[in-house]
Amino acid sequence: MYEEILEQMQELLKDEIKNFSGDFGKLEQEVMAMMMSFGKGLLQRLVDCGPNGYKGCSMPCECNSSMKFVQHRPRDIHTLFGWIKLKRAYYHCQDCRASLAPYDKSSGLGSQQLSPGLAKACCLLAVDDSFAQTSRKLEELFGQKVSERTVERGVHQVGSVALGQQNQELNTTFAVRQ
């Protein structure tokens, strides 16, 4: 299957291949740009064909009432491939006024606009660099402009989640030992 896809892509790109002047670095950059565009389109299509958190016309609420499906609401997400738009199910409880988009949690999306992959890249780069340097490296490596402030918020959010998980593991360990 992959061989067929590669042959089709090669056929589509035959003009670019004909114009290849021997500059391997330039060719590599062009292929990377095409693959990033392809990845973004594929990611968008895969997200569009899923239920995206739809659990039926209602679902249980923590207040022992039920949350009603309101509609699919959009959310912009910055991914390793660029920006995509999600439409995910949104539920609301009339009794306690709570609301929920189940897809956000089940898919690993946090409150920031960063995808899990881009958030991971931010964190890995920020270990050794400032948020400003991390922002510059993200643009250089992935072609994605992520502001210093967004990098900082993403790193802090991931750190908070990791700290919470560690605390929960510690509490579980101490509870078992008692």
pLDDT per residue of the chain (178 residues) written in tens, 0 to 9: 789 988 888 888 777 777 777 788 888 888 888 889 999 999 999 999 999 999 999 999 999 999 999 999 999 999 999 999 999 999 999 999 999 999 998 998 878 899 999 999 999 999 999 999 999 999 999 999 999 999 999 999 888 888 888 888 888 887 877 7
Is residue 168 in some structural domain? Answer: no
How far apart are alpha carbons 65 and 92 in whole angstroms?
A: 11
Q: What is the model's pLDDT at position 101?
A: 95
How far apart are alpha carbons 62 and 67 in whole angstroms?
A: 9
Is residue 59 in some structural domain? Answer: yes
Q: Final residue of a domain: which of 67, 84, 109? A: 109
Is 122 in the same domain as 155? yes
Q: Strand (E) positions, the chain?
A: 58-60, 66-79, 82-92, 99-100
> Who's near 86: CB < 8 A, 6+ residues apart?
47, 52, 74, 75, 76, 77, 103
Is 97 in the same domain as 81? yes
* Sign of the C-alpha dihedral computed for residues 48, 50, 52 and 55 taken in this order: positive
Task: Report whether 71 contacts 90 (CB < 8 A).
Answer: yes
Is residue 2 in some structural domain? Answer: no
Is 101 in the same domain as 119? no
Is residue 40 in some structural domain? Answer: no
Q: What is the model's pLDDT at position 34?
A: 86
Is 98 in the same domain as 122? no
Amino acid at 148: E
Q: Final residue of a domain: which of 86, 109, 132? A: 109
Is residue 33 in some structural domain? Answer: no
The domain containing residue 134 runs over which residues? 112-163
**Total count of domains within the chain:** 2
**Cα 11 to Cα 8, 26, 83, distances in angstroms:** 5, 19, 28
Q: What is the model's pLDDT at position 152?
A: 95
Is 24 buried (19+), middle (13-18) or exposed (0-12) by CB count in 10 A? exposed
Q: What is the model's pLDDT at position 62?
A: 95
Is 99 in the same domain as 121? no
Is residue 72 in some structural domain? Answer: yes
Prediction pTM value: 0.80
Is residue 178 in some structural domain? Answer: no
Is residue 150 in some structural domain? Answer: yes
Is 148 in the same domain as 129? yes
Q: Final residue of a domain: which of 83, 109, 135? A: 109
Is 102 in the same domain as 119? no
